[in-house]
Amino acid sequence: MKFKYKRYGSILRPVIEITLKNQNKYIRYEVLVDSGADLCLFDEEIGSYLGINIKKGKPKEVFGVGGKCSLFYVHPITIEVGGWPFEINAGFMPSVAGKVMPYGLVGQNGFFENFIIKFDLLKEEIEVRNREKH
């Protein structure tokens, strides 16, 4: 499945839409495809909407590029991309990205382990393929 990069002001970013599911609830959510991220992180408001009690998850810390430490809580969740669902453990964080970026992020654990990703900045395109089918 191919996605177009999204433009934020003068910057292009590999942001795609995925679906997050928990029990009988689901929501579409934009995420940055981030090969430098260790795991998938989503805003706590998304988790709450899906019926997850965020603070009951396992607490962990993450450090950003600027060295700032942020707390997040790990929960099992289903992500779906291109009709392919995967059960993953993801972090839910208050004000993910400090509300500066209007999306979550998908990283190595939970996303890159399940998909083959091809970035093509010149074509402004991201290709996501299900690893199981290849």
- Check residue 134 and give its pLDDT: 55
Give the pTM: 0.89
Number of structural domains (the chain) is 1
Q: CATH number for the domain including 22?
A: 2.40.70.10
List pLDDT tens digits, range 16-63: 999 999 999 999 999 999 999 999 999 999 999 999 999 999 999 887
Q: Which domain holds residue 106?
A: 2-133
Cα 72 to chain centroid, rounded: 14
Q: Residue 82: pLDDT above 70? A: yes
- Check residue 113 and give its pLDDT: 94
Closest CA to 94 of 49, 46, 34: 46
Calpha distance 122→119 (Å, rounded): 9
Calpha distance 86→76 (Å, rounded): 10
List pLDDT tens digits, range 86-129: 999 999 998 765 566 788 999 999 999 999 999 999 999 999 99
Calpha distance 5→25 (Å, rounded): 27
- Check residue 13 and give its pLDDT: 94
- Check residue 63 and give its pLDDT: 78
- Check residue 132 and give its pLDDT: 77
